[in-house]
Every structure is written in structure tokens, then in C-alpha cells.
Amino acid sequence: MNLSKTRVFFVLATLVLLTAAGCKPKAKEITSLQRKEAASLVSEAQFALQLKDYARAEGLLTKAAALAPDTGKYWVDLGAMRVRLGQKDAARKAYETGVKVYEEAAKAEPKDAKPVLQQIYVLGLLGKVDAARAVLAKGQKLFPEDRAMRAFAEGKQIEKMIADPRFKEIAL
């Protein structure tokens, strides 16, 4: 891989990892047992995805998102699965819920730039590139010293992200 492709891959991998961390805005109390069950369902969905059993993975992710609705990664994964199944409207709803979860997380964790970066990623998946740029500009003002935010902005990662073929596979 050349250097720019490596950078794009690194930034996308970072976003995936940030997304994987999930967010937990304050809402209805979700029990530890529910979180463990949701994580188990996601694990099973990942296995189904490896087998390219998208319908099974979608069902499992739907259950996981219902059990832990404050985990943005579950909504993003669900949206991606629905895109693969050709369910664009359902995918849009899952992605929009993901954006809301990350917005709530950003409010709940005002000193953490990760939920803002996650919003940018999901807005990109929704095809709302101008909104993603606006969130990035706001994020730069809120977190001028944050390395990830600065690298994302200075590296023009929104453009690279939306041009990436793997991103396009799950974007609307």
C-alpha cells in the first residue's frame, strides 16, 4: 500500500475502533446482563457476517441494538448490514439513530472528542457530507488540542473517507 492509502486505512480503522468503544449517554438504565447479552449477539452476528449470512446477522444486530440502544456501534453495524441487504430505508433509520446516540454521548461527555468524530463518520454514511463538515468545524473549535480531531481535519479525512470503496459499500 502506498502512504496515502495507508493513512486512509489508519483513519478508517481508528474510526471503527472509536465506534467499537460505543457510547453510553444517560437514559433508561441498561443492566449488565443486557449489555452482556447484546455483546454476545454482536459476536454471533460477526460470525454470521463471516459466513455472509447477512439476514441472520441483521436479526442479531437488531436484537443487540434493542437491548443496548445507547451503543452507537450497534446502530452503525445494523445500518451497514441493512445496506448489504438492500434495505436502504431501514439502514437510514439505523444510521440516524446512531447519529442521535453519538450526539447524546457528546453532550454527556463534553470533554471527549470521540463521539464527535463518530458523528462525522455516521453522517458520512448517511451521505450528509455538509453536515459532517459542519460537525467537524464545530469539533475543531471545541477540541483545538485534540490530536485525532486535528489529524482528521488537517488530513482532509472526510473526502478520503467518502472516496474509500469499503466505505461506499455501506454508505447510503
**pLDDT tens, residue by residue, 51-84:** 999 999 999 999 999 999 999 999 999 999 999 9
Q: pLDDT at position 6, please?
A: 42
Q: Is the pLDDT of residue 20 over 90?
A: no
Question: Which overall architecture, per CATH, does domain 3-23+30-170 show?
Answer: Alpha Horseshoe (1.25)
16/67: higher pLDDT: 67
Q: Which H or E run includes 12?
A: helix 3-20
Q: How confident is the model at residue 17 (pLDDT cuts 50, 70, 90)?
A: very low
Q: What is the pTM of this model?
A: 0.82
Q: pLDDT at position 161, please?
A: 95
From the list 123, 54, 63, the residue with the least C-alpha distance to 92 is 123
CB 114 within 8 A of CB 122: no
* Cα separation values, 82 from 19, 59, 61, 98, 142, Å: 18, 10, 10, 14, 33
From the list 121, 120, 122, the residue with the least C-alpha distance to 140 is 120
Q: pLDDT at position 138, please?
A: 96
Q: Is the pLDDT of residue 109 over 90?
A: yes
d(CA 134, CA 131): 5
Helices (H), ranges, 21-144: 32-50, 54-67, 72-84, 88-108, 114-125, 129-142
Considering only 23-37, 51-65, 104-118, 152-166, which range has the smallest mean pLDDT? 23-37
